[in-house]
Structure formats: structure tokens, C-alpha cells
Structure 1
Amino acid sequence: MAVELIGSLGFLALFGLLASGMPVAMALTLVGFIGTAIMSGISAAAYTLSGQVFATVTVYELSIIPLFILMGNLASAAGLSRDLFNAAYKIIGHLRGGLATATILGCAGFAALSGSSIASAITMGKVSYPEMRRHNYGARLATGAIAAGGTLGILIPPSTGFVIYAVLTEESIGRLFIAGVLPGLLLTGCFILAILVITFIWPEEGPRGPSFDRNEKFRSLVQAGGITTIIMITIGGIYTGFFTPVEASGVGAFFALFMLIIRRKCNLRVLYDVGAESLRTTGMVFFILIGANVFAPFVALSHLPETIAGAVTDLSLGAYGTLTIILLGYVILGMFIEGLSLLVITLPIVFPLITGLGFDPIWLGVVMVIVLEMGLISPPIGVNVFIVKSVVPDVKIETIFAGIMPFWIAMIVTLTLLVFMPEIALLLPNAMFSN
């Protein structure tokens, strides 16, 4: 049997296992092990499995994952996310759509601590939705802003998506983190612009909130100083070269713990809950990475990357035509497959194909993360939509999907700008690299 056929059957088996409900990490490991055993023998498959487990869990750079996850959980327990929303709420809440804008800004700030879209959506949903409904915001705008704002969690550094991409492609985690800063700010701005357009056309969706005096605004900014300090220390330290990304994650976790202590919210129960949640999330991410590293050698043995690259080249679509087809495929697949799972499944084939066309691998990481974000809010599976639904069970799922559409269009605009102006993503990492 031709190795290309075995590889194709392996992918069909993988998607079948995922459709049956098997966890993606287990499905990747199973298909990779059996496929390698068929093509190279059981000994080679066993060696790959044992070797990749050890190799993955002993990579020093991957210690960034549990530390940043811990930092985000400690910050959430300390109430830093609520402080950021309250500051934005008191400064711009009196504007039309101001509470929705405050939600987007809160999500962006919390994303810089958690690196998780799901955590951002859950946290800000619990904080901001009651305020928006109390001020008679439309359910579409309120839930759409939460679901869309949560997607910033895998774009604004620190990002779990960037870490996984870096590990699978052997790119620099620090460069990817810095590359995500300007695109993250751009996407945040496009989301806010979408809110302005919505409230201009339908003012009833985002009525004005209460006004606060200067003293109230100033106090809220001081209260939010904890989260801004941690962000400046971690991201600023990476950019200036004072910290490596791993060191920055440790320093950030320490300061988040410090904030928990000085706010008198640190007790054994809180520490247990934070530790348990951090371990669960870390275990899930590492299991997926192990599965991806077992699956990748099987893909290489099948010669599918070379076969697909040759077939795409024969189409003579050109570099941007090929990129467009691939990104469109990601958007479609993202409607059915969770983003990080889709990344680890497809990257062994897509990465060499796109970089072979001359595209920068750091820029590609940013573009792929945005496309994965689109999948997080795309029907029918959009994970963030169902997360928001769990937070606000009184809102119909179709209402939430209707609410995210303007933000989905904003993501298309951001993606288009990045494709035609790659320097948006590359400006900061290139400046850092040259120093």
C-alpha cells in the first residue's frame, strides 16, 4: 500500500475518532502510533511514543505554559479582571456602547494575563454581562462583545496558541509573543469600531451608562494598577530583553501571587482551586503536544506534505491565491474543530507549504492564530459562543451567533490588513531582534 494512501486513511481515521467524541490528544497519539507501526514497524512506533513523551515534558521552554496559566488563574482569583473592567466602565461607560467597549478592553487586558480565550470569555462574561443587562443593553451586542472579546486570549501575548505553534515549528516563542502585540491592538480597535457602527445604526442596543466624576475615574485607574503593572513587567521585560519569555512567566506568576496576598484573598482553599485548575489546563495542553509530536512523524513518513505541496503548485494559483485557499479552509474547518486541535492536526502539512511560498513563519503564526480565533465564534460549533451560553443561559444560542457577526467581519478586516501589510506583525519582533 502506498504511503500516501496510508497517510490519507490516517487522517480519515483521525477525523472519525474526533467525530466520535475521543479527546484530540488521544486521537492524535493513537493514529500516529498505529500509522508509524504500519509503515516502519512496531519497534519504531514504540520508540517514537516513548521518546516523544520524554522529549515533550523535558523541554525547558515549555515551562512557560504552566507558569502563565498559573499567573492568569492567580490574577483572576485576586479580582484583577474586574478591576480592569471597572476602570474602563467608569471612564467610557457613559458613551453609547461604552459598556460593550469596556468589555472588549477588559478582555484584551485579561488576555495579557491568561493567554486563554475560554478563560477570558468566562471571566469577563461573569463580570460585564450583568452590568450590560442592568443598563438595558441588547442581548445580541452584550453576548457578541463577550464572545468576540474572549478570542483575544490566544492573540494578545502570552498566548497558548503561540506557544504550541512555536514548539511545533521550532520558532521563537518570544518573537511570536511580540509579533502578536500590534495585531492584538488592531483587532481590539476593529472590535470597538464594530460596536460604534452597531450603536450608530441601532442605538437601543447600547444605551449610555452612568457618568462618574474625575475622582471616581482616577480611583478606578489606581485600582487597576495591579493588572497593568504585571502586563508591563512581563511583556515589557520580554521586549526589552530583560527577561526571557520563561523568566517573564515566572516573574508574572510571582507578582500575581503577591497581588492575591496583599488583597487578603489568599487562603488554602483559593490556592488549592488555583493550583488544581492550573494543573488541569497544563495537563491538557501537554497531552495535546505529546499527541501532536507522535502524529507528526507519521505525517512525515506518509509524504503527504510533499504530495499536497506539489498538487497545489500544479494549480498555479500563485502565493497569495494558495494562501487564500488555505485560510478559507481553516475558517471552514474551524467551524467544526476546536482551534488548538486544528492547529496541531494541520500544521505538519500547512507550515512547510506556506513557508515554501516565501511567507515569513512569524507572520504566519499570527495569521493562523487569527483564523483560529474566527473558528472560536463561527457557527455551528463556535466554542466561545457555547462558553458564553453557559454563563448567560437565558439567552438563545442563535441570538449569540447573531451578535458575533459584526465582530466576525471585524476579524476579516484585520486578517486582510495583515495579509497585505505584514509589517504590522513583524515591526516589533524585527526591531527587538536587531537590537
Structure 2
Amino acid sequence: MAIALIGFAVLLGLCFLGFRVGFATLIVGFVGFAMLRGWEASFAMVGQQVFHDSMNYNLSVIPLFILMGVFIVHAQISKDLYDAAYAALGRFRGGLALATVLAAGGFSAVCGSTLATAATMSKVAMPPMRNYKYSDRLAAGTIAAGGTLGIMIPPSVPLVIYGLIAEQDIGLLFIAGILPGLLLITLFMICVGIVVRRDPLAAPDAPPLEPARKKEAIRGTLPVLILFIVVLGGIYSGAFTATEASGIGAFGAAVIAVMRGNLRSIGEWRTCLADATVTTATIFIVLLGAIVFSQFINLSGMPYDLLDFVDHHELTPFQLVIFVCVIAILMGMVFEAIGILVLLVPVFLPALQLSGIDMIWFGILVVLVSEIGLITPPIGMNVFVVKSVLPDVKLGAIFRGVTPYIIALVTGLILVLLVPQIATFLPGLMR
């Protein structure tokens, strides 16, 4: 186990020096394996694992869902989603902030990327909130927090990656993310209500949408709603697998973009495909690095030492889950969601499985913890994304603005911990 701990220390050092998680895990895994079995064995292991796992048919779900998200972003559907949400919630105090939360949830349902959601909603939601004198703290904090919904509400790339690492059904994970996602939207809206009640000047009243624009916005959201229902409804009903759903989703998103006049030139297609390719390559490097790193960790015996630790201290399954969640929260302050998954899950997977823990439920918990890390200092990836789009907003104001939402996310985590059925009820109906 000592060499595994040294490996983790070197990995953290490389990450702090600026190495990407994928390359850092690949380097540490390769060198660590060589220290235990020799360089020749390490070269053979890397070659075999990379070739074998890159040919995994289930991996095709990642580029296809990413392509779906890229097409949706390019279709510029976010403005209609935002206006439709405001049409429903504008009569309440803080209506623009409430609409931001709901629109972020809707956009996440067809985008699947937290960073894209945060960046897009920054461009769409911030101008009207500024026009009506919303405080930067409330506005930017709501946008950053709303972006976190992108990794919980399906289709979610982190859920796909967790499913591949833990060998869980991706379709079940997607369905499991629906109720927790709705729970978080509700908690975020409650946060907005509490903030504007305590500080009415943070969210002055705004006029309702014109009837014509309201109808136009609702019509504009219908294709996205239909696509979401087809993709998740098909998975839930068993009509097609998650991999097939990703292909249908990508095709449907392309059709929507073409219908809206935003994907009709070769240059636009090239841009979308290039964006999806770069994102996919980045994620695949992380995945392959995680696979090599997990081979080193397994060879070091660390997972089995953790099993002995659990047995020696007589940890109950619930205590073990809490222990892992605490570690994940600490990691979330340094690593992004995918980094947490690839580093944490392989290490604790044997102990979790032998403890009889529902791995679908645990997957939702880990992703929820990752959401907390997205807006928690010192990294807070979503906060910096919003800052990059809105450079005139002070970083401190954004971090203060997300504080109520961190409390909401922790509340959601506690609720899913105490009431696992929030995550397991819908998948249970499919089994």
C-alpha cells in the first residue's frame, strides 16, 4: 500500500504543477506498474489496456452525447428555454433568477455539460438580470450554481464515465439522475426565494414577457422537450439502449439545429464536429489514464488493504459511504468531476461492492458530491467559467453568490444519503 500512497502523492504533485489529470494518471500508473513488475510488463500492460478498452463499444456513448450537446449549443435554443422559464416563473419575486435555474436544468437535459451550461447561461441570463438591477452576487451565483445541474440531469458525461469504471448500466444511471436533478432544481429555487426575501433589493421586480414572445419561446422549446422525452423515454421503456439513445439524441439535435437555421454550412458542421472531437479526445485520455492507473493501484494491493481496514474497524455500509463522500468532497476542492471519479471509484470499488452497497445509488452520490466541488473554493470550475464570460464581475462576488447553493447541494446530498429511494425508485421500476 505504501507505493500506492506514494503514487497518489506524485499524482497530486503533477496536477498542482499543471499536468492534465489524464496524462498525470497515465504517467503515474505506467511508472508505478513498472516499479512493481518491470518496464517490459508495464509497456505490455499499457498497450493491451489502451487497445482493448478503446475498442469498447459502450465508449461510443461519450462522443455521441457530446455531439448532441454541441449541436444543441449551436442551435442557440437557450434563449427560448430562458424566456419560457421566465414566462412560467416571472410573476414570483426573483423571477429572473428562478428562470435561470429552470432554464439551466432544461438546457442540461439536452446538453450534458456543466461548463457549457454555465457559459451559455452567463450569456443568456446575465443581461436581463442586469437590466433590471439584480445584484451581481445573486445573478452570477445563480448562473454558476445552475450550471452544476449539467452533470446530474441526464444525459450526463460523468454518469457515463462512472458507469464504465464501475461496470454499471448507463441507462439505469441516467434514469436514477432524474429525481435527484429535480430535487436540486427545487432546492435551488428555494434558495432564490430565501435570498430575495432577506434582501429584496437583490432582485427588483421585472415586467412579464409580451404574449407574442411568450408563445414564440414556448414553441421554440418544444423540439428540445420532445428530444429529451424520446431519448430518456426510450431508455426507460427499453426501446433502445443508452448507446443507441446517444445516436438518436445526436441525430435529433442536428435536426433541431438545421431547422433553426444554425447548421446549414460546411463551416458550421466542421466547427461542431471539431469541438466534439476535442472534448471527446480529452475525456478519452482521462479514461485511458484512469484504466492504467487503476491497474497499478490494483497491483499494489491498496483496494484489498482498504477491505481489511473496513473489516478491522467494522464499518457499516452507511459509514463506508459517508467516509468515501467526505474524501470526495475534499477532492472536489482540487479536482473536477471526472478527476474525482477516475481517482476515487477504482480504489473503493471492491470495498463498496462487498459491503452490498447499491452502486447506482452510490454513483448518484459521487456525482452530487462532484457538483459541490464545481462551485467550492479554491478551484470552483463553474465560478471561473462564469468569471471568464463576465470579466467585470468580481470573483469574490461570485463565490459569495454560490454560498447558499453550496448549502442547498449539501442538503440534497444528505437527503439522497438518508433516502436512497430518491435515486433508486425509478431504476427499480426498470429492473
Q: Give the aligned partner of residue 175 of structure 1.
A: 172
SS at match of 1:9: helix
Deviates more, 1:280-289 or 1:314-323: 314-323
8 A Cα contact 1:154 1:162, kept in partner: yes
Q: Which of 95, 99, 105 is 2:96 aligned to?
A: 99
Q: Give the aligned partner of residue 377 of structure 1.
A: 375
Counterpart code for 1:167: L
Measure how far apart 1:216 and its partner are. Answer: 4.0
Deviates more, 1:355-364 or 1:403-412: 355-364
8 A Cα contact 2:83 2:214, kept in partner: no
Q: Give the aligned partner of residue 301 of structure 1.
A: 299
The CA deviation string for residues 129-172 of structure 1, in whole angstroms up to 9 with x for no partner, is: 11111111111110111111101111111111111111111111
Deviates more, 1:206-215 or 1:265-274: 206-215
Q: Give the aligned partner of residue 221 of structure 1.
A: 218
The CA deviation string for residues 316-364 of structure 1, in whole angstroms up to 9 with x for no partner, is: 4533333223212211221112221121012111222233333200000
8 A Cα contact 1:80 1:226, kept in partner: no
Q: Give the aligned partner of residue 27 of structure 1.
A: 24
Q: Give the aligned partner of residue 363 of structure 2.
A: 365
Structure 2 residue 218 is matched with structure 1 residue 243 = no
CA distance in 1, matches of 2:349, 2:374: 21
CA distance in 2, matches of 1:136, 1:72: 32
The CA deviation string for residues 166-206 of structure 1, in whole angstroms up to 9 with x for no partner, is: 11111111111111011111111111111111111111112
CA distance in 2, matches of 1:322, 1:264: 52
Measure how far apart 1:214 and its partner are. Answer: 4.9
Q: Give the aligned partner of residue 204 of structure 2.
A: 207
Deviates more, 1:223-232 or 1:183-192: 223-232
Deviates more, 1:173-182 or 1:218-227: 218-227
Normalising by structure 2, report the TM-score: 0.97
8 A Cα contact 1:25 1:287, kept in partner: yes
Counterpart code for 1:202: D
Deviates more, 1:262-271 or 1:26-35: 262-271
Q: How does 1:48-197 map to 2 (within 5 A)?
A: 48-197=45-194
Please give the root-mean-square deviation of Cα atoms over the aligned residues, in Å: 1.4
Counterpart code for 1:85: Y
CA distance in 1, matches of 2:79, 2:53: 36
8 A Cα contact 2:126 2:140, kept in partner: yes
Q: Give the aligned partner of residue 279 of structure 2.
A: 281
Counterpart code for 1:74: F
Q: Give the aligned partner of residue 345 of structure 1.
A: 343
Q: How does 1:348-427 map to 2 (within 5 A)?
A: 348-427=346-425
CA distance in 2, matches of 1:419, 1:127: 34
CA distance in 1, matches of 2:105, 2:127: 19
Q: Give the aligned partner of residue 262 of structure 2.
A: 265
Q: Which of 316, 324, 340 is 1:318 aligned to?
A: 316
SS at match of 1:224: helix
Q: Unpaired segments of 5 or more residues in structure 2?
A: none
Measure how far apart 1:213 and its partner are. Answer: 5.3
Counterpart code for 1:104: V
SS at match of 1:265: coil
Q: Give the aligned partner of residue 325 of structure 2.
A: 327
The CA deviation string for residues 200-247 of structure 1, in whole angstroms up to 9 with x for no partner, is: 111111222211355543332112112111111111111111121111
8 A Cα contact 2:144 2:383, kept in partner: yes
CA distance in 1, matches of 2:266, 2:206: 39
Deviates more, 1:322-331 or 1:276-285: 322-331
Counterpart code for 1:409: I
CA distance in 2, matches of 1:315, 1:20: 36
8 A Cα contact 1:140 1:402, kept in partner: yes
The CA deviation string for residues 45-104 of structure 1, in whole angstroms up to 9 with x for no partner, is: 112111121122211111111111111111111111221112112332242111111111
Deviates more, 1:364-373 or 1:128-137: 128-137
Q: Which of 11, 14, 34 is 1:17 aligned to?
A: 14
CA distance in 2, matches of 1:112, 1:302: 40
8 A Cα contact 1:238 1:248, kept in partner: yes
Q: Give the aligned partner of residue 233 of structure 1.
A: 230
Deviates more, 1:276-285 or 1:340-349: 340-349
8 A Cα contact 2:294 2:346, kept in partner: yes
Q: Which of 253, 274, 279 is 2:250 aligned to?
A: 253
8 A Cα contact 2:353 2:359, kept in partner: yes
Counterpart code for 2:84: A
Q: Aligned pair count? A: 430
CA distance in 1, matches of 2:110, 2:201: 33
CA distance in 2, matches of 1:92, 1:424: 25
8 A Cα contact 2:82 2:99, kept in partner: yes
CA distance in 2, matches of 1:101, 1:399: 19
Deviates more, 1:214-223 or 1:139-148: 214-223
CA distance in 2, matches of 1:261, 1:214: 26
Structure 2 residue 36 is matched with structure 1 residue 8 = no
Q: Unpaired segments of 5 or more residues in structure 1?
A: none
The CA deviation string for residues 385-426 of structure 1, in whole angstroms up to 9 with x for no partner, is: 111110111111111111001111111111111111101111
Identity of matched residues, %: 41
